Amino acid sequence: MDERIAKVSIVVSKGSLEGVYPALIMANGARAEGMEANLFFTFFGLDVINAKRIEHVKVAAVGNPGLHMASLLGVLPGMSAIATRMMERRMEENDIPGLPEFIELVADAGCGLYGCRASADMFGFTEADFVPQVKAIITVGEFYALSAGGQIIFT
Amino acid sequence: MTTQTLAGVSVERDAEGFLTDPSLWSEAMAVAIAAEEGIALTERHWEVVRFMRHAYETTGAGPNVRLLAKTSGVPVKELYALFPRGPAKTAAKIAGIPKPHGCI
C-alpha cells in the first residue's frame, strides 16, 4: 500500500515570525516533494499576506520562553524588534528567505494561498489589502472542500 | 534497494529510485528515468538536468529548488512546469545524482 502523503493543507493562525515560518517551510517542502500544498491564513496569520504588514511580522518577545531571557525584559519597548532583527540575521546567514520572497517562492512553486473569510471580515480586509499571490478569500467550508483527500495541519 | 538494467547497464537504485552510484549514469539512462516520471526530455529539461549534474560534480551535491532557480536562471514557476513532481528531486533523479538535501 502506498502510504505517502499526497496533499497537505496548512492553517496559519499566528501573526508572529516564529508562528509563520514553520508553515511556509512545510508548504514549500511539500511542493518540492511533488505534493499538493495549500496555505490558509486565518486570524493574525492574515498579517503575513497583508501587503502593508508582511514586512513587519515580528518575533514575540513576551510569553516566549524560546528567547531565553527574563520575562520582564520582553515588555521593554523595542525588544520585539531586537529579537526579530537577531532572528532575521540568523536566517539570512542560513540562506532562509525573508517573508515577501518566501511568499513569492511558495506561490511560484504552485502552492495555493488563501485568506479566511471570517477573519478578513472581522478585521475589515478585502482582497485589495493582500499580496497578489493570494488566490482568494474563502470560507471554512471552501477550505475543507479544497483540503479533501489530504492532511490538514494547524499552526 | 533494487538492482535493474537501465539503458543496458546494471545499476542499483534506492527506495525512491535514485542511482546509488552516480558514476554509472549516462544520457541514455536519463531518458529512461525521465520516462518513468512521465517526462519526455526537451532541451529546457536537459539544461536543468545538466546543470544539476554539473552542480553535483563541482560541489558534491545538487541544489534545492530555490538555489537551483537562483543559480541556473530557470525561474521557480518554470521549474515546476518542467518537473511537476518536484524540480530539484526529479531533476536530480534524472541526472543520476543523490536527492538534494535541505529544507528550503
Alpha helices in A3-139 (DSSP H): 17-32, 79-93, 99-108, 117-123
Give mean pLDDT, residues A44-48. 96
A101 φ, ψ (degrees, to nearest 5): -65, -35
Give the Cβ contact number of residue A6 at 10 Å. Answer: 13
Put simply, the answer to whether B64 touches A97 (Cβ < 8 Å) is no
Greater confidence (B34 vs A2) lies with B34
Put simply, the answer to whether B75 touches A97 (Cβ < 8 Å) is no
C-alpha angle A106-A107-A113 in degrees, rounded to nearest 5: 100
Cell numbers found for residue A95: 540562506
**Cβ neighbours for B93, distance < 8 A, ≥ 6 positions apart:** B16, B17, B18, B33, B37, B99
Query: Position of cell 538535501?
Result: B101
Give mean pLDDT, residues B14-21. 96
Which helix (H) or strand (E) segment holds residue B44: the answer is helix B43-59
Cell numbers found for residue B19: 542511482
The predicted-structure confidence for B24-40, as pLDDT tens digits, reads as follows: 999 999 999 999 999 99
Catalytic residue chosen out of the listed positions B1, B15, B40, B103:
B103
Q: Average model confidence (pLDDT) for chain A?
A: 94
Residue of chain A minimizing CA distance to B69:
A105
Cell numbers found for residue A111: 502552492
Convert A29-54 to b/e letters by CB count within 10 Å (16 or more is b): bbbbbbbbbbbbbbbbbbbbbbeebb
Give mean pLDDT, residues A128-149. 97
Residue B66 at interface with chain A, using a CB cutoff of 8 Å: yes
Asked if residues A38 and A147 have their Cβ atoms less than 8 Å apart, the reply is yes
CA distance A150 to A28: 16
Question: In angstroms, how far is CA A96 from the centroid of its own chain?
Answer: 14
The predicted-structure confidence for B35-89, as pLDDT tens digits, reads as follows: 999 999 999 999 999 999 999 999 999 999 999 999 999 999 999 999 999 999 9
Residue B87 at interface with chain A, using a CB cutoff of 8 Å: yes
**Cβ neighbours for B102, distance < 8 A, ≥ 6 positions apart:** B64
ipTM: 0.93
Q: Please state which of the ranges A54-58, A117-121, A141-145, B24-28 shows the lowest mean pLDDT.
A: A54-58
CA distance A111 to A37: 5
CA distance A60 to A15: 9
Minimal C-alpha gap between B62 and chain A (Å):
13
Domains and CATH numbers, chain A: 7-60+99-154 (3.40.1260.10)
Domains and CATH numbers, chain B: 2-94 (1.10.10.370)
Minimal C-alpha gap between B6 and chain A (Å):
24
Q: For residue A74, is pLDDT > 90?
A: no
What per-residue confidence (pLDDT) applies to A2?
65
Q: Which of B47, B25, B26 is nearest to B91 (CA)?
A: B47
Put simply, the answer to whether B104 touches A25 (Cβ < 8 Å) is yes
